[in-house]
Amino acid sequence: MAEFKEAPAGASVGVKTMTWLENRFPTAFDAYKVHMSEYYAPKNFNWWYIFGSLALLVLVIQIVTGIFLVMHYKPDAGLAFASVEYIMRDVPWGWLIRYMHSTGASAFFIVVYLHMFRGLIYGSYRKPRELVWIFGCAIFLCLMAEAFMGYLLPWGQMSYWGAQVIVNLFAAIPFVGPDLALMIRGDYVVGDATLNRFFSFHVIAVPLVLLGLVVAHLLALHDVGSNNPDGVEIKKGPKDAQGRPLDGVPFHPFYTVHDIYGVCLFLMAFTAIIFFAPEFGGYFLEYNNFIPADPLKTPPHIAPVWYFTPYYSMLRATTDVMVNVLVGVVGIAAVVSFLKGKFGGAAKVALLVAAAALIFLLKVFDAKFWGVVVMGGAVIILFFLPWLDHSPVKSIRYRPDWHKYVYAVFVVFFLVLGYLGIQPPSDMGTLVAQVGTLFYFGFFLLMPWWSRLGTTKPVPDRVNFHAH
């Protein structure tokens, strides 16, 4: 056990209390130093670096408002819809709690998408931060599961039919699909059993995993240290006599103050939406979800909430024609690798066999199944990003200028896919979504090739920082 510290003679009650606490719980004080007052973060952070803290804030908002919602919500197919209406109309401040939670769900995705994009442009997933990124991707998966299951709970028409459509997708998996879908629903159609298990996962199982992953995400980050807009490792740069990086500043107070400022701006936008536009034109709360679930009446147009629509578009884009295009792409890729690849003969033959097997599978299973694979693959591929990017530099700042256009087109296609996923299907929309889907996967799968191309700019030894 560490030596007991003594408060200096004549110390204030505050100092005495802290000394008393530190003697009994030194771990907490050490953690504060390691993660706050002595965590040296690069001094050139820009506004892209606010979204991690905002994600933490939204996580807390969701947990706290969720706890209060559960006090009045009834996870029963016969009572759920009315219990939400009761929260909205009769529970004191219930409307505020509910709108905070529903707006929080969309805010979470906005913040997390921006947070991920920051990682993408500054190469924050590259060595030594691969695990930080992987924990992040796992968080993103959990977040999607959490939002999907939470959406069933109000038991409106969209809750019901959205769950029906998505759970039915699992039935497209060969051999095990129908049993899997049955297991997820707990019934032959979405029903009370489904509502109960989604409730249980939404309020306890997934949040626990999410919290664990967020802790792992932050611990892993603080072990290797933060990246920055220049992609320069401050730990490798010059240090002071105590071994502290000269290009770093203690997280507290520098970035706590910075983040509080960002939090204030965020809360202004967040509260404006809650008070003036909580449905946000039907994007945050869909109008059809104000109609109680009716298993006998399918709504004419079923669309998921906006944050899922890019992936939903990819699912809808995977038609028979698209599968034929994929067969062509796999064939061409295999022939080009065979002719141009700089690897051994045995590997080339193995590649051809693998491509032939994939083409066979593409033609054997139906397009709906491949749609599910494409939709899932669009998220899973993110896990591999650290090994797909072969650029000699991390940050977009020092990459060839045309890389910026590649990222810009990627963002535009992602937004267009998101837009198309909200719209009812059309021939033109499907075609654009197919091009978008090919670009999305091409962006990642061809990254080992294109990320190496072009002339990079010289990366400075120290971070770029201009005092305000």
Distances (CA, A) of 37 to 12, 243, 251, 254, 462: 22, 15, 6, 9, 23
Distances (CA, A) of 365 to 314, 320, 323, 360: 17, 11, 10, 9
Find out whether 115 is annotated in a ligand binding site.
Answer: yes
Closest contact distance (angstroms) between CB of 110 and ligand HEM is 12
Q: Which is nearer to ligand HEM, 53 or 106 (CB)?
A: 53
Q: Count the residues of the shown chain that bind ligand HEM, applying the rule CB under 6 A.
A: 28
- The residues, ordered by sequence, that sit 6+ positions from 391 with a Cβ below 8 Å of its Cβ are 123, 399, 403, 451, 452, 456
Stretch that binds ligand HEM, among 79-87, 108-116, 266-274, 372-380 (CB under 6 A): 108-116
3-state secondary structure at position 239: strand
Stretch that binds ligand HEM, among 220-228, 264-272, 287-295, 421-429 (CB under 6 A): 220-228
- 255: exposed, middle or buried (C-beta count within 10 Å: 0-12, 13-18, 19+)? buried
Tell me how long the chain is.
Answer: 468
Q: Which is nearer to ligand HEM, 21 or 204 (CB)?
A: 204
Decide if residue 137 touches ligand HEM (CB under 6 A).
yes
Decide if residue 386 touches ligand HEM (CB under 6 A).
no
Q: Which is nearer to ligand HEM, 59 or 305 (CB)?
A: 59
3-state secondary structure at position 450: helix
Decide if residue 112 touches ligand HEM (CB under 6 A).
yes
Find out whether 202 is annotated in a ligand binding site.
Answer: yes
Phi-psi label, residue 301: left if phi above 0, alpha if psi -120 to 50, beta otherwise: beta
Tell which one of 139, 285, 293, 374 touches ligand HEM (CB under 6 A).
Answer: 139
3-state secondary structure at position 468: coil
Smallest CA-to-CA distance from 169 within 369, 434, 303, 437 is with: 369
Segment 31 to 50, residues that bind ligand HEM, using CB under 6 A: 49
Torsion sign, CA atoms 324, 330, 336, 338? negative
* Separation CA 296–CA 298 (nearest Å): 7
Tell which one of 56, 70, 216, 359 touches ligand HEM (CB under 6 A).
Answer: 56
Find out whether 222 is annotated in a ligand binding site.
Answer: yes
Closest contact distance (angstroms) between CB of 109 and ligand HEM is 10
- Segment holding 248, helix H or strand E: strand 248-250
Decide if residue 351 touches ligand HEM (CB under 6 A).
no
Q: Which is nearer to ligand HEM, 121 or 355 (CB)?
A: 121
Tell which one of 214, 334, 374, 447 touches ligand HEM (CB under 6 A).
Answer: 214
- The residues, ordered by sequence, that sit 6+ positions from 389 with a Cβ below 8 Å of its Cβ are 123, 125, 126, 447, 448, 451
Stretch that binds ligand HEM, among 85-93, 136-144, 201-209, 354-362 (CB under 6 A): 136-144
Residues that bind ligand HEM (CB under 6 A): 49, 51-53, 55-56, 59, 112, 115-116, 119, 122, 124-125, 129, 132-133, 136-137, 139-140, 214, 217-218, 221, 226-227, 382
Q: Please enumerate, by residue number, every residue annotated as part of a binding site for heme b.
A: 101, 115, 202, 217
